[in-house]
Chain A
């Protein structure tokens, strides 16, 4: 089953073409590192797939359903690159994580015990369980980022999309976070797309690399990338070697 299918997708932003005629698919259980230079359209590509940006051309299917008909949003967890939060929003960490359940809940249903337990489990996984009753305005950038990641995971998503999720994390936490993602992918078969600039680092965990620069420069396994002559000529032998050495 395809989790994402993109056909001939084109997006314009203020009359400028961001990318055009992009086609690819993501299969169940994939773990893809999406890399590329700044301004190459990685985040726009993801936002278009998530219906946050309207394409001018092309079609998108999520879990084999056309994007316009797709209703099972609880299958998708998303961590954006930037958050536009109100500085004064009155909510505890636990309440923010529970907001990730909004698409699963009916009008008057209370949060189930099993969901409360999962919230605690995820906060523990993100190492912020001790902060669960703290107001989000009192968190550091890294702590808030971990709360948002827990929010993305709370509905047991089948597809997890993370846009540079580790920018505010210290190296040790980042390392443990990548291990957690790999576990989710390996044990729970969660499909993951991770936008990152650390191509070499992501290679230690992700199964595939998509290098995007207004077009798909490369999409395949890290092994294929490392043995690709065309990638040697595109990146230069040294850059390819650095990525592959880390991998």
Chain B
């Protein structure tokens, strides 16, 4: 174990490990901040749905020999707006609307992978993620996006909280609901695309959901819930990378399981009134 941690600190001298830690930390902040609004608005699975769309877009990118992230960003953003429109115009429940878009994304991905053939290995690396192979470009993208998200959330914090509390009341307070929803979905779509390199398409939604449901077990105010969620999320990334490197485990899955452990601990604290 000690040898393992030594190896981890040795590893930090390498560029790939530094990039993994930096981009992982920023993606953790992004996902926990945005995920809070989704979880409380019963839109948790939008991350899962958009991740499935990302699968289809990555397949298109590989097929066209274009960097998959560049293809995935516009397609995922448009799909996010599509989910919103489906909810508004067809009066579908959010989970059903997400299911419609999600299944379309997966079907397209499987179809292209099957027709084209030969790039299954590339596609699998996106499905399961590999944080240790994050490029400089992806790292800078995650840093820039994190700042964009944080500034946006600070600017629209009161409106976002108000809409999350009760949409109708927020609208009568003069808040432009559609504009705020569009901004939120735009940021989430880009976050999902960037997160797939860290935890993989299969586990992206857990990044958006787990730290937030863990924080909601113990936090009594919105701002405290966000702080707890972000702290748990960042800690799970740092600790997850260390553990996975030390014990040669898949990084994305390790991070998610640590998040799950936090959720179990905070649930236990809530059930036993440990903090009261």
Contact of A92 with B220 in the complex, beta carbons under 8 Å: yes
Within residues 162 to 188 of chain B, which ones have a CB less than 8 A from any CB in chain A?
162, 164-175
**Interface hub of B167, B169, B216, B220 (most chain A Cβ within 10 A):** B169
Contact of A50 with B220 in the complex, beta carbons under 8 Å: no
Measured between C-beta atoms, what is the minimum distance from B21 to chain A in Å? 30
Contact of B220 with A90 in the complex, beta carbons under 8 Å: yes
- B221 partner residues in chain A, CB cutoff 8 A: 90-92, 95
Measured between C-beta atoms, what is the minimum distance from A207 to chain B in Å? 24
Within residues 96 to 151 of chain A, which ones have a CB less than 8 A from any CB in chain B?
96, 99-100, 102-103, 105, 107, 135, 148, 151
Stretch binding the partner chain, chosen from B67-75, B153-161, B201-209, B252-260: B153-161
Contact of A103 with B174 in the complex, beta carbons under 8 Å: yes
Q: Which residue of A73, A76, A89 is within 8 Å of B165 (Cβ)?
A: A89
Judge whether A71 is part of the interface by a CB distance below 8 angstroms.
yes
List residues of chain B with CB under 8 Å of any chain A CB: 39-42, 154-155, 158-159, 161-162, 164-175, 216, 219-222, 224-225
- A85 partner residues in chain B, CB cutoff 8 A: 165-166
Judge whether A177 is part of the interface by a CB distance below 8 angstroms.
no
Query: Could you list 8 examples of A-B contacts with CB < 8 Å?
Result: A73-B174, A86-B165, A88-B40, A89-B40, A89-B165, A102-B174, A102-B175, A103-B174
Secondary structure class of chain A's binding surface, majority of residues: loop
- A50 partner residues in chain B, CB cutoff 8 A: 171-172
Known: A91-B222, A99-B162. Is A86-B42 also a contact (CB below 8 A)? yes
Contact of B216 with A99 in the complex, beta carbons under 8 Å: no
Contact of B172 with A52 in the complex, beta carbons under 8 Å: yes
Q: Which residue of B169, B170, B172, B174 is within 8 Å of A71 (Cβ)?
A: B174
Q: Which residue of B42, B161, B162, B166 is within 8 Å of A83 (Cβ)?
A: B166
Complex CA gap A74/B224 in Å reads: 27
Complex CA gap A91/B216 in Å reads: 11
Judge whether A51 is part of the interface by a CB distance below 8 angstroms.
yes
Complex CA gap A86/B169 in Å reads: 13
- B222 partner residues in chain A, CB cutoff 8 A: 89-91, 95
Within residues 25 to 79 of chain A, which ones have a CB less than 8 A from any CB in chain B?
50-52, 71, 73-74, 76, 78
Judge whether A84 is part of the interface by a CB distance below 8 angstroms.
yes
Complex CA gap A78/B168 in Å reads: 10
Contact of B158 with A78 in the complex, beta carbons under 8 Å: no
- B162 partner residues in chain A, CB cutoff 8 A: 99, 102
- A96 partner residues in chain B, CB cutoff 8 A: 165
Considering the complex, give the chain B residue whose CB is closest to the CB of A95.
B221
Complex CA gap A50/B174 in Å reads: 10
Considering the complex, give the chain A residue whose CB is closest to the CB of B215.
A90
Known: A84-B168, A88-B216. Is A99-B161 also a contact (CB below 8 A)? yes
- A73 partner residues in chain B, CB cutoff 8 A: 172-174
Complex CA gap A89/B42 in Å reads: 11
Measured between C-beta atoms, what is the minimum distance from B181 to chain A in Å? 15
Q: Which residue of B155, B164, B169 is within 8 Å of A89 (Cβ)?
A: B164
**Interface hub of A52, A86, A88, A102 (most chain B Cβ within 10 A):** A102
Measured between C-beta atoms, what is the minimum distance from A44 to chain B in Å? 13
Complex CA gap A102/B163 in Å reads: 11
**Interface hub of A50, A76, A103, A151 (most chain B Cβ within 10 A):** A103
Complex CA gap A51/B174 in Å reads: 10
Measured between C-beta atoms, what is the minimum distance from B94 to chain A in Å? 12
- A88 partner residues in chain B, CB cutoff 8 A: 39-40, 216
Contact of A102 with B158 in the complex, beta carbons under 8 Å: yes
Complex CA gap A50/B167 in Å reads: 13
Complex CA gap A105/B222 in Å reads: 18
- B158 partner residues in chain A, CB cutoff 8 A: 99, 102, 105
Contact of A90 with B161 in the complex, beta carbons under 8 Å: no
Measured between C-beta atoms, what is the minimum distance from A96 to chain B in Å? 7
Judge whether A165 is part of the interface by a CB distance below 8 angstroms.
no
Measured between C-beta atoms, what is the minimum distance from A183 to chain B in Å? 23
Contact of A90 with B216 in the complex, beta carbons under 8 Å: yes
**Interface hub of A71, A80, A90, A148 (most chain B Cβ within 10 A):** A90
Contact of A151 with B169 in the complex, beta carbons under 8 Å: yes
Measured between C-beta atoms, what is the minimum distance from A199 to chain B in Å? 25
Measured between C-beta atoms, what is the minimum distance from A225 to chain B in Å? 29
Measured between C-beta atoms, what is the minimum distance from A24 to chain B in Å? 20
Contact of A102 with B173 in the complex, beta carbons under 8 Å: yes
Complex CA gap A78/B18 in Å reads: 52
**Interface hub of B155, B164, B168, B170 (most chain A Cβ within 10 A):** B168
Complex CA gap A83/B167 in Å reads: 9
